[in-house]
Chain A
Amino acid sequence: MRIVVDFDLCESNAVCMGIAPEVFEVRDDDFLYVLNENPPESMRAKMEESVQRCPKQAISIAED
C-alpha cells in the first residue's frame, strides 16, 4: 500500500493528520508532509478513512 497525495488539490485542512498523525503531518508552514508513504497493512482502515474524509479528495491509495 502506497499513499499518494495530489498536492495540487491538498489545502492542508489537516483532517488526515487527525486520523493518522504517524503518516500525515501538517507543519507550521501549513503544508502537508507524508511521513510514511508505505504504511503497514495494519493501518489500512485508517488510510481508507483518511481517503474518505479528505475534503479535497486529495489522498489515494496505490497498490504496488
Chain B
Amino acid sequence: MNSTTVIVGASLAGINAARTLRLGGHTGSIIVVDADPERPYDRPPLSKQMLTGEWEPEKILLPAGKEDLGLDFRLGVRAKAVDLTSRQITLEGAGGLVEDTSFDSLVIASGAAARRLPEAAGIAGIHVVRTLADSLALREELDAGPSRVVVIGAGFIGAEVASSCRKRGLEVTLVEAMPLPLERILGVEMGKVCAQVHIENGVDLRLGTGVLQFETATVDGVERVVGVGLTDGTTVAAEVVVVGIGVTLTTDWLEGSGLTLDDGVVCDNTLLAAPGVVAAGDIARYPSARFGRMLRVEHWETAIAGGEAAARRLLAEASGETPAVFDPIPWFWSDQYDRKIQLAGRPQPTDQCVVVHGSTDEFRFVALYGDGDRLTGVLGMNRPRHVVQLRALFEDGASFAEACERAATL
C-alpha cells in the first residue's frame, strides 16, 4: 500500500490503526489528525490515577504514539468536513486556519466528546472528564481541598471519579437519575450491589433524582458553583461538580458525506463504511453475529482491536485479500474503591442474572447473564481470573447452562 491515508482521531483506535497500517506494509503517507493538542494518551487513568495525583501525564502516553512509525501528526487540528467523491478532507488548525487535504483512504476514529449540561455553561467549578486537560483541570480543583464534590451520573466515569475523590479523603455526593447505578447495563440486581459499594465507601448516594439547577456565587467577577439543586427538592452545597452523563459522538464533520450515520458510523462486519473508508472505536457501529444485533462498543479493548481491524481491512482491500470479520467479545473493567468490576459480553438489563461464584455480600463474586439459553455476559467483582476464563466460553459458543456448569469447576 503506497497511498495517502488520513486517520481522524489519535486516541486508542486511531493510533492503533496507524501502527497496524505501517507495520502491515503501508509505505505511503499516514496523516493522523486530532482536535486534542496532546500527544496520544490513554484515557482510563484520567478518572483514576491522574485524579488522585498518583500519576503524571508523561505516564499515560500511549506506547504506539512514541514509536517511530513515520506518522504525520496534525494535533490540535479538527476535521470539519469530508468529500468522499473528490477524496478531500477539510481540516481546521490553530487560529482557525482551514485547509483541504487529499487522501486515498480514510480511517474514522474521531470518537466522542463528554456530554455537558447546558445549565452548566459559563459556571466555574463544573467539570467533565474526557480529555487530559479536563482531568488536570479537575485535579487542580481537588488539590485545593473542596468541602464537598457533587458527581452527576453514577455510570463508570462518575463512579470512578467518586472513588478517586474518596481516596483523597473528600466528601462526595453521587447523583443518579435512574433508580440504581448502572441499571441499564447490569440490570436491577447488580445495580443494587454497585449502589451498596458506593455507600460502604462513604458516598452520599442520591438515586432517582436529577439536576434542577446550579446555585452560584460571583467571586472576583467569576461566577462559581456553590451548590446543586436537585429535582427531589433538596440542595447539596458543593464547591466542585463533575458531570458524567455519557458522551456525544463526534460525527458532525461527517454530515452530508453520504456515509450512514445512526448513533455512530454504520459499518459492515469488517468495519468498512464505504470503499476505502473504515471506522473504529467508540464511533463504529457494526453488525455482530455473536450477539445478533448491531453493536457500538465504547470499551478500551474494542478501540484497540477495532483500530487494528480497520487498518487490516484497508490493507486487505489494497491487496485483494479476503477481509476478516470483526466480532470480538466486548470486555471492560472499572476500578472503584478497592473493587474491580469486569464485564465480558453484552447483556441486556432484562436478561437473567445468576451468581455462580462467591457472594455479593462480600463484593467478591462472579455472575452470569443469559437470554434464554444464550450466554450474554460474565460479570466479576474482584474475580479477574474467573472472568477471563469464563470469557473464553463465548468463543466456544457455550450455552448459559454449560457456562454455569463450567463456572462451578473454577
| Chain A interfacial positions (CB closer than 8 Å to B) | 11-15, 17-18, 25-28, 30, 52-53, 55, 57
Chain B residues with CB under 8 Å of A27's CB are 385
- Enumerate 7 A-B pairs (CB-CB under 8 Å) in ascending A order: A18-B389, A26-B384, A27-B385, A28-B385, A30-B384, A30-B385, A53-B304
**Complex CA distance for A26 and B304, rounded to whole angstroms:** 23
Contact flags (1/0) for B383-407 with A, using CB distance below 8 Å?
Answer: 0110111011000000000000000
Contact of B385 among A11, A17, A52 (CB under 8 A): A17
Chain A residues with CB under 8 Å of B340's CB are 11-13
Contact flags (1/0) for B321-332 with A, using CB distance below 8 Å?
Answer: 000000000010
Given contact pairs A13-B342, A53-B301, enumerate 17 new A-B contacts (beta carbons under 8 Å).
A11-B340, A12-B340, A12-B384, A13-B340, A15-B301, A15-B388, A18-B388, A18-B389, A18-B392, A26-B385, A28-B385, A30-B384, A30-B385, A53-B304, A55-B44, A55-B301, A57-B63
**Interface range on chain B: under 10, 10 to 19, 20 to 34, or 35 or more?**
20 to 34
Chain B residues with CB under 8 Å of A13's CB are 333, 340, 342, 384
| Residue B382, interface by CB 8 Å | yes
| Residue B335, interface by CB 8 Å | yes
| Residue B300, interface by CB 8 Å | yes
> What's the minimum C-beta distance from A37 to chain B, rounded to whole angstroms?
20
Chain B residues with CB under 8 Å of A15's CB are 301, 331, 388
Query: Residue among A11, A14, A28, A52 with the most chain B CB within 10 A?
Result: A14
| Chain B interfacial positions (CB closer than 8 Å to A) | 16, 42, 44, 63, 300-301, 304, 331, 333, 335, 340, 342, 382, 384-385, 387-389, 391-392
By secondary structure, the B interface counts as: helix
Chain A residues with CB under 8 Å of B16's CB are 52
Chain A residues with CB under 8 Å of B335's CB are 11
> What's the minimum C-beta distance from A46 to chain B, rounded to whole angstroms?
14
The answer to whether B387 and A14 touch across the interface, beta carbons within 8 angstroms, is yes
**Complex CA distance for A25 and B385, rounded to whole angstroms:** 8
> What's the minimum C-beta distance from A40 to chain B, rounded to whole angstroms?
22
**Complex CA distance for A51 and B316, rounded to whole angstroms:** 25
Chain B residues with CB under 8 Å of A17's CB are 384-385, 388-389
**Complex CA distance for A14 and B301, rounded to whole angstroms:** 13
Chain A residues with CB under 8 Å of B331's CB are 15
Chain B residues with CB under 8 Å of A12's CB are 340, 384
**Complex CA distance for A53 and B42, rounded to whole angstroms:** 12
A30 with B333, Cβ < 8 A, contacts A13-B342, A15-B388, A57-B63 known: no
CB nearest neighbor in A for B16 = A52
Q: Which 4 A-B pairs have the closest CB atoms?
A: A14-B384, A14-B388, A18-B388, A26-B385
> What's the minimum C-beta distance from B379 to chain A, rounded to whole angstroms?
14
A30 with B382, Cβ < 8 A, contacts A13-B340, A18-B388 known: yes
**Complex CA distance for A55 and B301, rounded to whole angstroms:** 8
The answer to whether B391 and A18 touch across the interface, beta carbons within 8 angstroms, is yes
Chain A residues with CB under 8 Å of B384's CB are 12-14, 17, 26, 30
**Complex CA distance for A40 and B382, rounded to whole angstroms:** 31
**Complex CA distance for A3 and B388, rounded to whole angstroms:** 20
**Complex CA distance for A55 and B16, rounded to whole angstroms:** 14
**Complex CA distance for A27 and B388, rounded to whole angstroms:** 12
Chain B residues with CB under 8 Å of A30's CB are 382, 384-385
**Complex CA distance for A35 and B384, rounded to whole angstroms:** 17
Chain B residues with CB under 8 Å of A55's CB are 44, 300-301, 333
The answer to whether A26 and B388 touch across the interface, beta carbons within 8 angstroms, is yes
Chain A residues with CB under 8 Å of B42's CB are 57
> What's the minimum C-beta distance from A38 to chain B, rounded to whole angstroms?
23
**Complex CA distance for A13 and B48, rounded to whole angstroms:** 15
**Complex CA distance for A27 and B304, rounded to whole angstroms:** 26
**Complex CA distance for A25 and B42, rounded to whole angstroms:** 25
Chain A residues with CB under 8 Å of B387's CB are 14
**Complex CA distance for A26 and B391, rounded to whole angstroms:** 14
CB nearest neighbor in A for B385 = A26
**Complex CA distance for A26 and B380, rounded to whole angstroms:** 14
